[in-house]
Amino acid sequence: MARKFVVGGNWKMNGNKEQIGQILNFLKEGPLNADTEVVVGVPAIYLEFVKNNAPGNVEVAAQNCYKAEKGAFTGEISPLMLKDIGVNWVILGHSERRQIFGESDELIADKIAFALQNGLKVIACIGETLEEREAGKTEEVVFRQTKAIADKVKDWSNVVIAYEPVWAIGTGKTASPEQAQEVHKALRDYIASSISPDVAGGIRIQYGGSVTGANCKELGSQPDIDGFLVEGASLKPEFVDIVNAKQ
C-alpha cells in the first residue's frame, strides 16, 4: 500500500508573531513537494493565527490536548476547541510530555483515543531513552508504548506514529538510517502481528531526532520511514528541504 510521505514541524515553545511570520513566509515560498503532507505543530496561543495565515498546503497541529470535552481542567485545551478553530491535527505523547510533565502511557493513549473520537488526526510519539537503548530495551519500550495505544484505539486510519529516540532529540545525534529503519521495520512487524497486517501496511511511521536538510534524503529513502517529525530545523528555511526529501 502506498503511504504518503508526511513531514511535521514541531515548533515546541518557540517563536513570536514576528518569527512565526518568517516561518510562514518560507513555507509560502516553498515550493513544497505536493506529494508530501506537511503539518506544523504550533504553540496553543498562536494556533488560530497560524491557521489563518498558513498556506493551504500546510496543515496545523496543536502540541497537546486533553481527554475531555470541557470542564474544570485549568490550563488544558480540548479537541472540540481545536476543531472549533479549524485545527485538525494534534501531536500527543511527545517525550517532553512524558518526561517533563509526567504523562503515562495510559494517559497518552486516553488522549489519543479521545482526540480521534472527536475527529482529530494524531501524531503519536514513541521512543526509547539512551539508557533503555543501551540496556537493549528499544523494542520492548516502543512495543509497550504502541500496545498502550492499541488497547484503546481500534481505527488507526487517522494516526501517524512518530518514532523519536529520545537520545536523538535536539542533541545533534541522529539515528543512522540503518538504526532508524531497523526500529521502523520492527514496529511495523509488531503492528502486523499484534493489530493487523492491513494497519501495518497503511500506517505511516515518521522518524524524529535531529533531522536536517543534510541527512533527510538518506533517512527518507529507507523503506519503512514515511516522513519526519522535526523541531530545530522546522524553525528554519531548511525545513523546506526536509519536506522535499523525497524529490
Active site residues: 94, 164
Q: Is 53 helix (H, G, I), strand (E, B) or coil?
A: helix
* Site for ligand PEP contains 103 (CB under 6 A): no
Q: Can you name the residues that pair with 41 across neighbouring β-strands?
A: 10, 61
Q: Which stretch binds ligand PEP (CB under 6 A): 44-52, 56-64, 131-139, 164-172?
A: 164-172
* Site for ligand PEP contains 165 (CB under 6 A): no
At closest approach, how far in Å is the CB of 210 from ligand PEP?
4
Q: Which stretch binds ligand PEP (CB under 6 A): 134-142, 145-153, 186-194, 204-212?
A: 204-212
At closest approach, how far in Å is the CB of 9 from ligand PEP?
9
Number of residues binding to ligand PEP, judged by CB under 6 A: 13
What span, in angstroms and rounded, lies between the C-alpha atoms of 229 and 91?
Answer: 10
What span, in angstroms and rounded, lies between the C-alpha atoms of 100 and 60?
Answer: 24
What long-range pairs does 23-30 form, CB within 8 A, spacing at least 24?
23/234, 23/235, 23/239, 24/50, 24/53, 24/54, 24/55, 26/237, 26/239, 26/240, 27/54, 27/55, 27/58, 27/239, 27/240, 28/55, 29/240, 30/55, 30/57, 30/240, 30/243
What span, in angstroms and rounded, lies between the C-alpha atoms of 161 and 230?
Answer: 13
| Interactions with ligand PEP, residue window 76-95 (CB under 6 A) | none
**Binding residue for ligand PEP (CB under 6 A) from 230, 242, 243, 245?**
230
Residue 216's CB: how many other CB atoms inside 10 A?
Answer: 25
* Joined grid coordinates for residue 200: 501495518
If residue 174 lies in a helix (H) or strand (E), which one and from where to where?
none
**Binding residue for ligand PEP (CB under 6 A) from 61, 126, 232, 245?**
232
* Site for ligand PEP contains 208 (CB under 6 A): yes
At closest approach, how far in Å is the CB of 80 from ligand PEP?
26
* Site for ligand PEP contains 220 (CB under 6 A): no
**Binding residue for ligand PEP (CB under 6 A) from 79, 127, 165, 209?**
209
* Site for ligand PEP contains 36 (CB under 6 A): no
At closest approach, how far in Å is the CB of 233 from ligand PEP?
6
Measuring CA to CA, which residue among 183, 186, 187 is closest to residue 150? 187
Residues that bind ligand PEP (CB under 6 A): 10, 164, 169-170, 208-211, 229-233
